[in-house]
Amino acid sequence: MDDTRIRHRYAEVAGNRLHYREAGSATAPVSLVLLHGFPSSSHMFRHVMEPLAETGARVLAPDLPGFGLSSVPGPGVEYGFAWLADVVEEWLRGLGVGRKILYLHDYGAPVGYHLAMRDPSSVRGLIVQNGNAHEEGLGEQWDASRAYWADPSEENRAAIESWLHYEGTRHQYLWDLPERIAELVPPETWELDWRAISRDLDAHWRLFTDYRSHVARFDAIRDYHREHRPETLIVWGVHDPYFDLDEILAYHRNLPTAESHLLDAGHYLLETHSRECADLMRPFVSRLVQEHRSQGAVLRPVTSG
């Protein structure tokens, strides 16, 4: 069996030092690319990478620039989701990644949909974990943000509840969680996140502002779903205060064969339900890997990263 232990590596990509975690074989025919959200990093996948590598997939999890152990974007960078997708795309190209399954969480959704829609034929499937791609998921809790995106005035910015601080980072993990679930969340999660994002809070405000570009692409994402019908697995923490449960129904409207599982967890459900998620994801990933192999796909050349 291939070594499924997690390796911790770095790559120089477009002038950025990118930290990433890797498990499984570099010659695997399909890669599972795990894209984290705000304010986390590849650290959120630490409990599921080895079980997922047992499926025969190459499992890759980057710290997006500005997060985790990756470098902060330099001056002059248009720090937005299209740029983040550019960096991830170049990194994957350097690793020789061809066919892939994309894991979309929070900010990872806009990054992942850029990748998927640029090269739909390379995407074997999607795993969606509390990642938004429809208007239905953005409830009234987003009203102030919508007003700011439409008119980025100082007045509208001031109307958004402050969240770019230490307590706001902690809040990302614990908000709306029942105590029995909240006490399962390890506190080092927000400690590590705050250390990383506090290096450049202005950059993170710019990235949040650019989320409007993702919302503006919802119709295009709908068309991508309808045309390409990617195999999709949805695992969702029902205590998520950011994205409404109607988001799941919206996914099913355009992806009627999607498989959904609701868990008694929050926005960061891997912190409390990693074993349950691994058990749900493993057969999905294994099936896609085996289907790809059975089709007699020719492996692309692989270069070491």
Domain boundaries, the chain: 7-294
Place of tokens 């908000």: 175
Per the CB < 8 A criterion, the answer to whether 19 and 49 are in contact is no
Q: Is the pLDDT of residue 304 over 70?
A: no
Model confidence over 59-92: pLDDT tens digits?
999 999 999 999 999 888 999 999 999 999 999 9
Q: How far is CA 30 from CA 81, 171, 237, 292, in A?
A: 24, 36, 27, 8
Report the C-alpha gap between 154 and 80 in whole angstroms: 20
| Cβ–Cβ < 8 Å for 88, 81 | no
Q: Which CATH architecture has domain 7-294?
A: 3-Layer(aba) Sandwich (3.40)
Cα four-point dihedral sign 52, 53, 55, 57: positive
The answer to whether 274 and 34 have CB atoms below 8 angstroms apart is: no
Query: What are the tens digits of pLDDT across the range 81-123?
Result: 999 999 999 999 999 999 999 999 999 999 999 999 999 999 9
- Cα(232)–Cα(250) distance, integer angstroms: 13
Q: Of 233, 295, 278, 232, nearest to 29 (Cα)?
A: 295
Mean pLDDT, residues 38-59:
98
Answer whether 196's CB lies under 8 Å from 67's CB. yes
Query: Long-range contacts for 217-222 (Cβ within 8 Å, ≥24 apart)?
Result: 217/110, 217/113, 218/133, 218/134, 218/135, 220/117, 221/113, 221/117, 221/133, 221/134, 222/134, 222/254
213 vs 76, more confident:
213
Which residues partner with 12 through β-bridges?
17
Residue 2 has a pLDDT of 72
What letter represents residue 105's amino acid?
H
Amino acid at 223: D
Report the pLDDT averaged over residues 177-189: 97
Place 294 in a pLDDT band, splitting at 50, 70 and 90. confident
CA distance between the termini of the chain: 22
- Is pLDDT of 163 > 70? yes
β pairing state of 16-23 and 123-129? unpaired
- Note the maximum CA span of the chain: 58
pLDDT reported for residue 75: 85
Contacts of 149 (CB under 8 A, 6+ apart): 209, 211, 212, 215
Query: Edge-to-edge strands of the sheet including 16-23?
Result: 7-13, 16-23, 58-62, 31-35, 100-104, 123-129, 231-237, 259-263
With beta carbons less than 8 A apart as the criterion, state whether 117 and 224 touch.
yes
- Give the whole-number percent of the chain exceeding pLDDT 70: 96
Residue environment code for 252-273, b if the CB has 16+ CB neighbours within 10 A, otherwise e: eebbeebeeeebebbbbbbbbb
